[in-house]
């Protein structure tokens, strides 16, 4: 499968669920009206034929026809929201034009290898369709579900660890170790160089965002919005209580240990991204928030607003 076919496949996978209705559990940084109307219409006609057609009907005086008013002028479409955090994309020299979105994987892979080191880029990141993966995941982190199939990073290894506590379970004290390698990788990234790579390739991220179903919207604004959303994630002081979800069905789950949920309904109601911030453990959450704060400052030149 060539780059264009891979890109088309990823677009199809992203679009398979409408952007506003993506749902599922969180884990490791979305018309029957016509049919109903037709049924009501058929039912009304059947009732009239059976009961109404046999009843004498008095003639009705039809009033003279009144000239119809001209159709109202349709209201203009709402203007797209103003850009809050514009990106000034540098001009590319003619000798090194920006690749197309469908052919951007090699350039992204090379840029990520230069930024992180080739071994780290290959072991921690999913570089095929990276731009579309990143855009879809960023957009989904503030929603109920961020599909692991679209993540631009390799999921954390080992099982989620829960420890018995009283009559239930809490997130294991060592569970955060599963995420340590990725958090350490983020801490070693030069934020200014990462933002420079992002800015140089920004037209690709913007195109992927519009393809996702947001024409007229600005991806960098969404990125900053999601960073602020993750920075607002709660930091529970006590061990977080969890429980294994009982899934009934004829087929046994292949990974039953993945199906944990928070006992606290307020935590369970969090977005996919905020749930992930809680699951990584308090130490990793503080470290991730420090990197997110630095990234935000590099993107917009100022710190996040006070909560």
**DSSP calls for 36-61:** HHHHHHHHHHHHIIIIITTS-----P
16, burial (CB in 10 Å: exposed 0-12, middle 13-18, buried 19+): exposed
Instruction: Please report the pLDDT score of residue 231 as a whole number.
Output: 97
Split at pLDDT 50, 70, 90, the class of 47 is very low
| pLDDT-wise least confident of 2-6, 8-12, 129-133, 183-187 | 2-6
Is 45 within the bounds of a domain? Answer: no
Contact 199, 274 (CB under 8 A): no
> Is 10 or 162 the better-scoring residue by pLDDT?
162
Residue 143 lies inside a defined structural domain of this protein: yes
262: Cα separation from own chain's centroid: 21
Whether residue 224 contacts residue 296, with contact meaning beta carbons closer than 8 Å, is answered with yes
Model confidence at 98: pLDDT above 60: yes
Sign of CA dihedral 104, 110, 113, 115: negative
**C-alpha to C-alpha distance for 252 and 246, rounded to whole angstroms:** 11
| Cβ atoms within 10 Å of 126's Cβ, excluding its own | 16
Asked, for residue 16, whether it belongs to a domain, the answer is: no
Are the C-beta atoms of residues 147 and 276 closer than 8 Å to each other?
Answer: no
Asked whether 271 and 144 are in contact (CB, 8 A), the reply is yes
CB 204 within 8 A of CB 92: no
Residue 30 has pLDDT above 80, yes or no: no
Mean pLDDT of 102-106: 93
Tokens linked to 26 = 């969180």
Q: Is there a contact between 243 and 263 (Cβ–Cβ < 8 Å)?
A: yes
Is residue 5 one of the residues assigned to a domain?
no
Relative to beta strand 168-171, strand 162-165 is antiparallel
Please indicate, yes or no, if residue 257 is contained in any of the structural domains: yes
User: What residues contact 42, with CB distance under 8 A and at least 6 apart?
Assistant: none
For residue 132, being part of any structural domain is answered with yes
Residue 302 has what pLDDT?
56
* Beta carbons within 10 angstroms of residue 158's beta carbon: 10
Residue 305: what pLDDT?
55
The residue among 252 and 85 whose pLDDT is bigger is 85
Number of structural domains the chain divides into: 1
Read off the pLDDT band of 74 (50, 70, 90): low
| pTM for the full predicted model | 0.70
Q: Are 256 and 159 in contact (CB under 8 A)?
A: no
Which residues constitute the domain of residue 115?
97-299
Q: What is residue 294's three-state secondary structure?
A: helix
Least confident of 93-97, 185-189, 232-236, 274-278: 93-97
Q: Is residue 304 part of a domain?
A: no
Residue 160 vs residue 250, higher pLDDT: 160
**Is residue 40 included in any domain, yes or no?**
no
**How far, in Å, CA of 204 to CA of 98, rounded?**
9
What DSSP state is assigned to residue 9?
Answer: H
Diameter of the chain by CA atoms? 88
C-beta separation of 257 from 159 below 8 A: yes
Select from 199, 148, 173 the least CA-distant residue to 280.
173
């Amino acid at each position: 499968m060539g780059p264009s076919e891979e890109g088309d496949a990823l677009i199809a996978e992203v679009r398979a669920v409408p952007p506003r209705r993506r749902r599922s559990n969180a884990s490791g940084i979305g018309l029957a009206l016509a049919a109903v109307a037709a049924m009501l219409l058929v039912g009304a006609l059947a009732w009239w034929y059976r009961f109404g057609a046999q009843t004498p009907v008095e003639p009705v005086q039809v009033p003279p026809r009144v000239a119809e008013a001209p159709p109202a002028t349709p209201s203009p479409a709402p203007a797209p929201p103003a850009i809050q955090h514009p990106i000034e994309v540098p001009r590319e020299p003619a000798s090194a034009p920006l690749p197309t979105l469908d052919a951007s994987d090699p350039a992204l892979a090379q840029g990520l290898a230069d930024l992180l080191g080739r071994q780290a880029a290959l072991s921690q990141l999913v570089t095929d369709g990276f731009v579309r993966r990143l855009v879809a995941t960023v957009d989904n982190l503030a929603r109920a579900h961020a599909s692991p199939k679209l993540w631009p990073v390799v999921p954390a290894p080992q099982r989620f660890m829960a420890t018995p506590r009283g009559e239930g379970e809490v997130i294991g004290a060592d569970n955060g170790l599963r995420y340590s390698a990725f958090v350490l990788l983020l801490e070693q990234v030069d934020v200014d160089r990462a933002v420079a790579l992002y800015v140089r390739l920004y037209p690709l991220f913007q195109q992927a965002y519009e393809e996702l179903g947001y024409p007229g919207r600005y991806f960098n604004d969404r990125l900053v919005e999601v960073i602020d959303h993750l920075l607002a994630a709660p930091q529970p002081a006590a061990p977080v209580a969890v429980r294994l979800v009982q899934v009934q069905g004829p087929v046994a789950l292949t990974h039953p240990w993945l199906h944990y949920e928070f006992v606290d309904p307020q935590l369970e109601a969090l977005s996919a991204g905020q749930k992930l911030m809680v699951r990584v453990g308090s130490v990793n959450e503080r470290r991730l928030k420090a990197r997110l704060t630095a990234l935000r400052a590099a993107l917009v030149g100022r710190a996040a607003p006070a909560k």
